[in-house]
Amino acid sequence: MAGTQLQDQLIPTLKKYFGYDSFRGQQQVIIETVLNKNNCLVIMPTGGGKSICFQLPALLFKGVTLVISPLIALMKDQVDGLNANGIKAAYFNSSQTPEEQQLIIDQVADAKLKLLYVAPESLPGLENILKENYISCVAIDEAHCISSWGHDFRPSYQQLGFLKKQLPNTPVIALTATADKATRQDILDQLNISNAHSFISSFDRKNIEIEVRPADKRAQQIIRFIKKRPQEAGIIYCLSRKSTEQLAETLQNNGINTRAYHAGLGFEERSKVQEDYLFDKVQVVCATVAFGMGIDKSNVRWVIHYNMPKNLEGYYQEIGRSGRDGLKAHALLFHSYADVLQLRKFAEGSGNEEVQLAKLERMKQFSEATSCRRKILLSYFGELLAENCGNCDVCKNPPKFIDGTIIAQKILSTIARLNESEGVGTIIDILRGAQNATILERQLNQVKTYGIGSDIGWRDWQHYCIQLINQGLCEIAFHENNTLKLTDLSKKVLFENQQVWLTKPVIIKESVKEAPVK
């Protein structure tokens, strides 16, 4: 750093403008690196304190720090917050008139601003001031948006590489909460900052208990879960707008103070929900993933995923909205086979199919894991835990393995007898001797294995089928109506009596008596 002079100013500046006495984690070293005009890549979980890493240097640099941000909707709030702290900041985006935009350009030219937030697609409008005598630093927030590997790819981010070319001596600081290794490399390559110093904070949020349950009578499970936590604020993420509304209504009818939130609601209604939630006037919000970005509520005690998220980045970011105060929090994910199939369909139509399907597969592996879930989650972000976490459902209640050879043989021989032309649901119905219309009309009750598994519940059969698929003992043909097919391994079980180990389904200990469900 330019002498100790700047260094001496760090803590007083932190105190004066942000009101904090000390830096958190790697903030100080990141800030020093930026002030030394080095490029940086900062990976820090949501709530880790990324903003100060570029806001504080901005105050100490001569010119303006350009902040590239994808969320126009949040820019105003961010800038208002900075102005309230006495920091000269503004934003520049397509919501403004040409006159307003010109005013901002003039302010930059007159060195009256310290921070300028801009949407990537509005950068061309700043052409005249994209010069090194005006711009002292470029911060790229939500940098994962640049990568098609990222879960939130935005084409407008892909042209940002020009910034380094146009401002070769200006430090670039790229920040994100979610980046696996491939995305990280992509960020560095595309921004032309391969020499950047990388600062990767631990992603481990030890205070969040992680739990996955089968999606059986979800609404009832959720009601019991919440009734055990009558004072605790939480978020329930759903896949569709409609399901946020339906679930909110069900919870309301059970006396739980709930609102729905999704992008289809009007601006005012959304703001109202956010505000009521922030001020503890609402206990629960049933939301799509649109909810939470930029919400700074530190006492969210739990997050439930009603539906399976499409990848682990999203999942991790969403559970990270709980327990930001560092106190105990709980993340509950419902694992549903139907959701996986639905998400596969979305991925197939996404134009980025291969990547999306690979990510979904990792999400599914996490949900179906029989070893410490936090280990799996963190390893996805490139972090290796030496020990099991002790704070996930698998650690707390390790699965018990049973000899599942006969169970496997029953399933596999049913698949064989149906000429590999039916899906999981029909196979289970046959095993359980179901009498529904499909079975009777198609005379599937004539199949030799019909009814041989009536001693085992439907969900348990499903649990066993999923394990057979995960062990490669049979497979799903996604392009043939999700029918189950035999594999080479199935034959060993069927004809060579090869032993199969399966875990027993976990019994959820939620007492019904405690909270009757209407």
- Give the footprint of Zn ion on this chain (CB under 5 A): 372, 374, 388-389, 392, 395
Q: Shortest gap between Cβ of 172 and ligand ADP (angstroms)?
A: 17
23 interface partner picked from ligand ADP, Zn ion, none, CB below 5 to 8 A per type: ligand ADP
Q: Shortest gap between Cβ of 373 and Zn ion (angstroms)?
A: 6
Q: State residue 4 phi and psi, 5-degree precision.
A: -85, -5
CB 432 within 8 A of CB 461: yes
Q: Which is nearer to ligand ADP, 51 or 243 (CB)?
A: 51
Q: Shortest gap between Cβ of 387 and Zn ion (angstroms)?
A: 9
Show the binding pattern over residues 275-314: x = contacts ligand ADP (CB under 6 A), - = does not: ---------------------x------------------
Instruction: Give Dmax (Cα) for the chain.
Output: 87
Show the tokens assigned to 150. Answer: 């990222």
Q: Shortest gap between Cβ of 31 and ligand ADP (angstroms)?
A: 10
SS3 191: coil
Residue of 141, 118, 129 whose CA lies nearest to 63: 129
Q: Which is nearer to Zn ion, 191 or 392 (CB)?
A: 392
* Separation between Cα atoms, residue 242 and residue 254, nearest integer Å: 19
Q: Which is nearer to Zn ion, 233 or 376 (CB)?
A: 376
Counting contacts by CB under 6 A, is residue 202 touching ligand ADP? no
Q: Which is nearer to Zn ion, 68 or 395 (CB)?
A: 395
For 266: left if phi > 0, alpha if psi spans -120 to 50, otherwise beta; the answer is beta
Single-letter code of the amino acid located at 256: I
* Separation between Cα atoms, residue 167 and residue 65, nearest integer Å: 12
Q: Shortest gap between Cβ of 384 and Zn ion (angstroms)?
A: 14
Q: Shortest gap between Cβ of 314 and ligand ADP (angstroms)?
A: 15
48 interface partner picked from ligand ADP, Zn ion, none, CB below 5 to 8 A per type: ligand ADP
51 interface partner picked from ligand ADP, Zn ion, none, CB below 5 to 8 A per type: ligand ADP
392 interface partner picked from Zn ion, ligand ADP, none, CB below 5 to 8 A per type: Zn ion
Contacts with ligand ADP in 32-71 (CB under 6 A)? 44, 46-52
* Separation between Cα atoms, residue 157 and residue 410, nearest integer Å: 52
296 interface partner picked from Zn ion, ligand ADP, none, CB below 5 to 8 A per type: ligand ADP
CB 431 within 8 A of CB 452: yes
Q: Shortest gap between Cβ of 333 and Zn ion (angstroms)?
A: 14
First to last CA, the chain: 64
Counting contacts by CB under 6 A, is residue 320 touching ligand ADP? no
* Separation between Cα atoms, residue 291 and residue 248, nearest integer Å: 14
Q: Shortest gap between Cβ of 23 and ligand ADP (angstroms)?
A: 5
The structure tokens 């595309």 sit at 190
The structure tokens 């199949």 sit at 447
Q: Where are the beta strands (DSSP E) in 159-288?
A: 172-176, 197-200, 208-214, 233-237, 258-261, 284-287
Total site size for ligand ADP, rule CB under 6 A: 13
CB 138 within 8 A of CB 6: no
Q: Shortest gap between Cβ of 27 and ligand ADP (angstroms)?
A: 6
Stretch that binds ligand ADP, among 16-24, 357-365, 412-420, 473-481 (CB under 6 A): 16-24
* Separation between Cα atoms, residue 310 and residue 500, nearest integer Å: 30
Residue of 338, 251, 340 whose CA lies nearest to 287: 251
77 interface partner picked from Zn ion, ligand ADP, none, CB below 5 to 8 A per type: none
Q: Which is nearer to ligand ADP, 33 or 409 (CB)?
A: 33
Counting contacts by CB under 6 A, is residue 323 touching ligand ADP? no
Q: Which helix (H) or strand (E) holds 49?
A: none
Q: What share of the chain is helix, strand, coil (3-state, %, to 5)?
A: 45, 15, 40
Q: Which helix (H) or strand (E) holds 74?
A: helix 72-84
Q: Shortest gap between Cβ of 44 and ligand ADP (angstroms)?
A: 5
Q: Which is nearer to Zn ion, 108 or 369 (CB)?
A: 369
Q: Which is nearer to ligand ADP, 199 or 450 (CB)?
A: 199
Judged by the rule CB under 6 A, the positions of this chain that interact with ligand ADP are 20, 23-24, 27, 44, 46-52, 296
